[in-house]
Structure 1
Amino acid sequence: MTAISVSVPERSVRHDARAVKVVLHREMLRFVNDRTRMLSMLLQPVLWLFVMGTGLGSLVQGSIPGVDFRTFMYPGMISMTVIMTGMFSAGSIVWDREFGFLREMLVAPISRGAIVVGKCLGGAIVASGQGVVILAMAGLVGVPYSPGLMLTLLVEMFVAAFAVTAFGVMLAARMKNMQSFFGLMQMAIMPMMFLSGAMFPLANLPSWLHVLTVVNPMTYAVDPMRQAVFSAIDAPAQVNAMLNPGVRWFDWQVPVPVELGMVALMGLVLLGLGIVQFRRTD
């Protein structure tokens, strides 16, 4: 018998970068081809914004003159959109494991870290793209279509989406079935969303609730978006102080660059943990 030689390309930065590109491209194709998922990811924040926001706004209209309550909720709904989309993108790892595709990727001559990076970047881009649809609704809730504001929100969306996708990948790396992943996702994400100030102002909270919002990492993803929105609208000073107080550590208000830096650092740390978890996966 004649031996057939098989050449395996040596691992290199360029080789791993190509693997990242392939995984990223697959994530984007998967999302674009799944229209049901696209619509379902948009339905919940749209309902919260236009149904719940309108209902609550009618109750507090007298106490926030000059500002539509839906304007206040708008940054929170952007966050909800990118967070839910990012987590569902991360959950595709569990889906790939159940159907055997993950094993094919794991035996490929590429770094497992490249697979994780591709998943996180793909999830962040997909989530940001979904968030753009919410951005397009800005005028319906009194938010101006300012190019500077739109660009700022887009960057902040991507940072938040990357961090939450990395978190989801870390959780999904060792999961064996989708039911376990989605149960854990709901248990982790829903409390963080409700405690982030996405649906209620952070001013004048009870001390125990204030502590929970401050230690919640999602708060530092929502607050920069809200501050960007309120800097672009003409809100009375008293209403701005009520709806957009920022995040305070004792008497120090945390600046937006610090908040974004914390979210970005958290994303990188979670990315590293996800890579470590993935390397232990069989």
Structure 2
Amino acid sequence: MSEAPAAPPSASADRAGLPGGAASLLVRPPQPRAGWRLLPARVAAMCAVELQKLRHDRTELYTRAVQPALWLLIFGQTFTRIRAIPTGGIPYIDYLAPGIIAQSAMFIAIFYGIQIIWERDAGILNKLLVTPTPRSALITGKAFAAGLKSLVQAVVVIVIAAILGVALTWNPLKLLGVAVAVVLAAAFFSCLSMTIAGIVLSRDRLMGFGQAITMPLFFGSNALYPVSVMPGWLQAVSKVNPLSYQVDALRGLLLGTPAHLATDFAVLVVAALLGIAAASSLLGRLAR
């Protein structure tokens, strides 16, 4: 007596109550992403891994909100009363708020290289490098995770500024532009940090370099005062400082002051791309 032919897998799965797509996964693995779909998927995965850390420890977000609050409460309100810095007719605390948003985002991103050195020391980086994930995707994921963390910090600063009476716009499109500027600048500064990490290869050295460049970047920008009141050599520094372009974009979007938005965003995009390329090229050296 001949045996009845076996039912096809899809029929068995249908009887088991499985949908057709799930049934196909029982008999063959899913097709791997290839070509242009691979890089965005890996970047999103790395970014999600980085952001998962915030679910377990949100202390960083709370502690980092203290410094920008002090800048606005003490420095901003004091210099508003003094009126010593020309701000084009707007209160100094209004003028300062976009600069503090940029500063707080930079301070989060600029020490991002310490984390990648810790991952190297813990053996995590070597495990990531042996996966099919491109190095550029690893760096880009970390860079945009730093951007999203900075965006959370920017929201905190905007809320504090609104409570203090800063006349900010609430136009959704302009706020979207603010978010893009914050993410792009944070991506650049995190890549700058990871590039330095790939050169110095040590957490102690990186902390020294980070502390050495954060204040010059901040004071060499238009975050605290207009470029027009700077000495000539500092104006030259401000023109090559990506933080200046970020602050210019944030002021134009949040306060409606004259800005060069096309130039600002072009500089931020190019800076982020160059930062990703530089950090990716040194990632292998960091892992050795």
TM-score range normalised by the length of the shorter chain:
0.7 to 0.9
Task: Determine the C-alpha separation between the residues in 2 that align with 1:64 and 1:131.
Answer: 22
Task: Determine the C-alpha separation between the residues in 2 that align with 1:203 and 1:180.
Answer: 35
Secondary structure of the 2:83 match is helix
Larger radius of gyration, structure 1 or 2?
Answer: 2
**Deviation readout 1:259-280 (Å, 9 max, x if unpaired):** 2101210110111111111133
Aligned partners of 2:72 and 2:161 also within 8 Å: no
Q: State the Cα distance separating 1:121 from its structure 2 match.
A: 1.7
Task: Determine the C-alpha separation between the residues in 2 that align with 1:21 and 1:180.
Answer: 30
Q: Percent identity?
A: 24
**Deviation readout 1:207-231 (Å, 9 max, x if unpaired):** 2332222232321111111222331
Listed as ranges, the matches of 1:1-282 within 5 Å are 12-13=34-35, 14-60=37-83, 67-139=90-162, 140-147=164-171, 148-231=173-256, 255-281=260-286, 282=288
**Deviation readout 1:204-260 (Å, 9 max, x if unpaired):** 3322332222232321111111222331xxxxxxxxxxxx676xxxxxxxx321121
Query: RMSD across aligned C-alpha pairs, in angstroms?
Result: 2.7
Q: State the Cα distance separating 1:138 from its structure 2 match.
A: 3.5
Q: State the Cα distance separating 1:66 from its structure 2 match.
A: 6.2
Aligned partners of 1:78 and 1:131 also within 8 Å: yes
Q: Which amino acid in 1 is paired with 2:167?
A: V
Task: Determine the C-alpha separation between the residues in 2 that align with 1:113 and 1:154.
Answer: 23
Task: Determine the C-alpha separation between the residues in 2 that align with 1:142 and 1:53.
Answer: 11
**Deviation readout 1:137-191 (Å, 9 max, x if unpaired):** 3422422342243222222212212222222222223443322212111112220
**Deviation readout 1:52-77 (Å, 9 max, x if unpaired):** 11122221179769632111100000
Q: State the Cα distance separating 1:81 from its structure 2 match.
A: 1.4
Q: Which runs of 5+ in 1 are unaligned?
A: 1-8, 232-243, 247-254
Give the TM-score normalised by the residue count of structure 1.
0.80
Give the TM-score normalised by the residue count of structure 2.
0.78
Q: Which amino acid in 2 is paired with 1:214?
A: K
Q: State the Cα distance separating 1:47 from its structure 2 match.
A: 1.0
Task: Determine the C-alpha separation between the residues in 2 that align with 1:65 and 1:278.
Answer: 45
Task: Determine the C-alpha separation between the residues in 1 that align with 2:118 and 2:51.
Answer: 16
Aligned partners of 1:166 and 1:271 also within 8 Å: yes
Q: Which amino acid in 2 is paired with 1:230?
A: L
Runs of 4+ in structure 1 deviating by more than 6 angstroms, as ranges, are 61-66
Task: Determine the C-alpha separation between the residues in 1 that align with 2:42 and 2:93.
Answer: 42
Task: Determine the C-alpha separation between the residues in 1 that align with 2:86 and 2:242.
Answer: 29
Task: Determine the C-alpha separation between the residues in 2 that align with 1:10 and 1:176.
Answer: 35
Secondary structure of the 1:113 match is helix
